[in-house]
Each structure stands twice: as C-alpha cells, then as structure tokens.
Amino acid sequence: ELQLVESGGGLVQPGGSLRLSCSASGFTFSTYPMHWVRQTPGKGLQYVSAITNSGDKTYYADSVKGRFTISRDNSKNTLYLQMSSLTTEDTAVYYCVKRTVTTNPYYDFWGQGTLVTVSS
Amino acid sequence: EIVLTQSPGTLSLSPGERATLSCRASQTVSSNYLAWYQQRPGQAPRLLIYGVSSRATGIPDRFSGSGSGTDFILTISRLEPEDFAVYHCQQYGSPPNTFGQGTKLEIK
C-alpha cells in the first residue's frame, strides 16, 4: 500500500526554522519526482517546492525561494523540507506529494499533511 | 503564473442530482494539463481526473472531466453521499503549478 507520512510540523516563532520530513513506502521512491504543497484557509492549495527523482535539481515557489530547501535521501525513502526565516504567511498544512514520471506530470498521491503554525 | 478561478464557490445539491463545477484559467492551459482533486474534511486531496478527462485509478465513472483551452468542467452525474466535499482544479502545464480556490459541494 502506497504511503506518504509527513512529520516535523509544529508551533514556531516568526524568524524561526523547522524541518519537515516525509517517509515514503509502497513504491520505488527513487523513481519519482516529489513535491511539497501547502494549504491555508485563505489561499487554498499552493505549490511550494519540487525535486527530481535523483535529487540533482530543485525548484521553488517565489514566495519561499532563498528560505526553504528541499532535499531527499533515497536510501531512507525520505523527503525533506528545511524551512527558515519563517513568517506568519508560512502557516499552513504542508503536504508531501508524489508526481508521476510519465509525460503527463500530475500529482497522483498525497500524504496526510503536517501543520506548521508560525506565531509568537 | 496562471490563475484558476473556480465557480461556484459553494454548490448546494441533493443526492442523486447532477453537479457541474467550473474551472476557468487566465491563460491557455498547456497540453491540457488540467487535474481535479477531491478533498473530504480532515483529509488530503485525492486525484480524480488528470489530463482534463482521464479518470484516476479507482474513480467511479460518475465523475467526468471536459474542456479545453481556458475552460474546464467537472461533472458528477449522480451525487452519492460521499461526494459532498471540496473540489480543486489544478493546472500543471506551466510552472509554477497553480490551483483554483476550490468549490465546496454541500448537501442541500
């Protein structure tokens, strides 16, 4: 059974840092590009970051560029998102998302999400 | 970036009725890379439709997608109780991927 389990969310003060993890199982993790997507009540779903299957290329939304770093450890089947210089605007549920490898690159599976709250 | 506008914001219908949800893009969606996701309360989004009209594995045939260019439709032919949820459209043809703000389908 395919699973993506996020962890590492919590309450952090503005300006602080947090590292999210996503543990994958039920598929060959090293084959697939992976993304982080976040959701807020006000702005809905928002793409955050992406990484190729090998980890050699990374991509970021403008809103997080320079503050967030995506990475992966294929030997541990784990995806990471290191977040720093957090602001209240980063408060959201963060989802780890699996992307297809076909020429049609949609999101075919989402984790359950982890809540990040940035507040003093 | 491409802005997706979903309408209506909330749709109130009864089980057994037909639901029609709209997603309009600010620019042409490249390669018809348009997906729909269902999100039930407290759950993660679940893929329903990709490539405008292809149903994901395990999705009942009462769900169908259509459209092209900038205008897309998700149709649920006969609503079941479990279909009442929030529906999101997404374009993934032009980076960055973007999502609509969602349509809430509620029981009338």
pLDDT tens digits for range A40-56: 988 899 999 999 999 99
CA distances from B103 to A67, A99, B95 (A): 32, 23, 23
Query: Considering CB atoms only, which of B31, B95, B101 is closest to A44?
Result: B101
> Looking at chain A, which residue has its C-alpha nearest residue B86?
A44
Report the pLDDT value the prediction gives residue A40, as an integer from 0 to 100: 93
CA distances from A50 to A5, A64, B38, B80 (A): 17, 12, 22, 35
Q: Is-contact A45 B44, C-beta < 8 A?
A: no
Question: Are B35 and A106 a contacting pair at CB < 8 A?
Answer: yes
Report the pLDDT value the prediction gives residue A42, as an integer from 0 to 100: 81
Q: What is the DSSP string of A11-36?
A: EE-TT--EEEEEEEESS-GGGS-EEE
Q: What is the mean pLDDT of chain B?
A: 97
Report the pLDDT value the prediction gives residue B101, as an integer from 0 to 100: 96
Report the pLDDT value the prediction gives residue A61, as an integer from 0 to 100: 96
Query: Considering CB atoms only, which of A47, A109, A112 is closest to B96?
Result: A47
Amino acid B106 reads E
Our measurement of the distance from residue A3's CA atom to the centroid of its chain's CA atoms, rounded to an integer in Å, reads 15
pLDDT per position as a tens digit, B20-56: 999 999 999 999 999 999 999 999 999 999 999 999 9
Torsion of CA B14, B23, A42, A83, to 10 degrees: 120
Query: Looking at residue B30, what DSSP letter applies?
Result: G
pLDDT per position as a tens digit, A102-120: 888 999 999 999 999 999 9
Report the pLDDT value the prediction gives residue B108, as an integer from 0 to 100: 93
Q: How confident is the model at residue A20 (pLDDT cuts 50, 70, 90)?
A: very high
Report the pLDDT value the prediction gives residue A96, as an integer from 0 to 100: 98
pLDDT per position as a tens digit, B80-103: 999 999 999 999 999 999 999 999
Q: What is the mean pLDDT of chain A?
A: 96
> Looking at chain A, which residue has its C-alpha nearest residue B103?
A44
Report the pLDDT value the prediction gives residue A97, as an integer from 0 to 100: 98
